[in-house]
Amino acid sequence: MSLLPVPIAIEAARFASSERDFQRVCDWLRQQCGMDYRENKRELLEHRMRRVCEREQLASMGELAERLERGGDTALQLSVLHAASTNHTYFYREPQVLQFFAQVILPALRPGDLRMWSAAASSGDEAYTAAMLAAQAYGLDAASCGVSILGTDISAVMIEAAEQAVYPASRLSALPAPLRERYLEELPQARLRVAAPIRAMCTFRRLNLKSMPLPFQRNFHVVFCRNVLYYFDRQQQRATVEAIYDVTERGGWLLTSVTEPLRDLNSRWTQVQSGVYRRLD
């Protein structure tokens, strides 16, 4: 005898029988943004697509796939893209890479017209972390005038959250105390807001990394592209890092997650250490 409540059992049976329709949704995601969920992530994606169906009052995964394939429903497309993208992030993530950024990269650069890009910015944690580290390295006044950081993400919801710059305290627990004390403002309900001078250094825009060529008129000195490449298939991974190479200044830097090595992609980047690459042509 099943221990599942009747509504849950019915829902599980319905979605379990729609593998073909679920694959149609996966194919749409791959075509739109290069996202390629591995087997160990498929259950997570299926759960997220069920939630989209519930919110949009769609009867089945097949109806979702049909609406996506038909096109024209921008709101639904954005909802699916937001649900599929992984937005688990926090300030000062992977400190070994950020320490290299603070101790090696920033001292080698100079504020004035220093341009950085957070290529999968999610809710802005990474871009604001980079801005705080730049303010520590150069002084807040010099950084405010001479450092600009662009954060992009495929999710419009995340871009809106990044612009608001308000976070629960739990998202900032890894941030070193000097940065917390200097660049964050306390709000009610255990929330914090990034201080205005740091917010002013960062601009956020929606961008699909599959949009080639990348739509930038000026190259960047530092690019962060972390914790996103492993959601792409190998072809899209290589296309992305090569496109980033083309919009990076000579001598510029690419910072990835330490779990996303580029060595098998035959790219033009030169590895400096785990998670750190440089354009050396």
Question: In which residue ranges of the chain is pLDDT below 50?
Answer: 1-10, 12-17
63-119 tens-digit pLDDT: 998 999 998 888 888 788 778 766 668 899 999 999 999 999 999 999 999 999 999
Question: Tokens standing for 263?
Answer: 């060595």
Question: Tokens standing for 253?
Answer: 């830097």
Residues in a beta bridge with 257: none
Q: Residue 266: how many CB atoms within 10 A of its CB?
A: 8
Cα dihedral angle (144, 211, 80, 48), rounded to 10 degrees? -80
Element (H, E) at 53: helix 39-56
Quote the pLDDT of residue 59: 85
Q: Is residue 90 part of a domain?
A: no
Based on the structure, what is the number of domains in the chain? 2
Q: Is residue 191 part of a domain?
A: yes
Domain of 34 in residue numbering reads as: 6-84
Q: Is residue 1 part of a domain?
A: no
Same domain for 114 and 27, yes or no, is: no
Same domain for 61 and 200, yes or no, is: no
Question: Tokens standing for 178?
Answer: 């000097």
Q: Is residue 158 part of a domain?
A: yes
Quote the pLDDT of residue 134: 98
Same domain for 120 and 194, yes or no, is: yes
Same domain for 34 and 72, yes or no, is: yes
Quote the pLDDT of residue 110: 93
Same domain for 59 and 114, yes or no, is: no
Same domain for 188 and 271, yes or no, is: yes
Residue with tokens 């087997």: 39
1 by Cβ neighbours in 10 Å (0-12 / 13-18 / 19+) ranks as: exposed
Name the DSSP letter for residue 104: I
Quote the pLDDT of residue 8: 39
Same domain for 59 and 125, yes or no, is: no
Task: Among 84, 108, 137, give the residue marking a domain's end.
Answer: 84
Q: Is residue 41 part of a domain?
A: yes
Q: Is residue 55 part of a domain?
A: yes
* Cβ contacts of 65 within 8 Å, gap of 6 or more: 21, 22, 24, 25, 28
Whether 163 contacts 82, CB under 8 Å: no
Residue type, 174: A
Same domain for 101 and 73, yes or no, is: no
Report CA 3 to chain centroid distance, whole Å. Answer: 39
Residue type, 159: I
Quote the pLDDT of residue 39: 65
Q: Is residue 89 part of a domain?
A: no
Name the DSSP letter for residue 218: S
Whether 70 contacts 191, CB under 8 Å: no
Q: At 203, phi and psi to the nearest 5?
A: -125, 140
Give ∠ CA 158-162-167 in degrees, rounded to 5.
105
The enclosing domain of 50 has a CATH number of 1.10.155.10
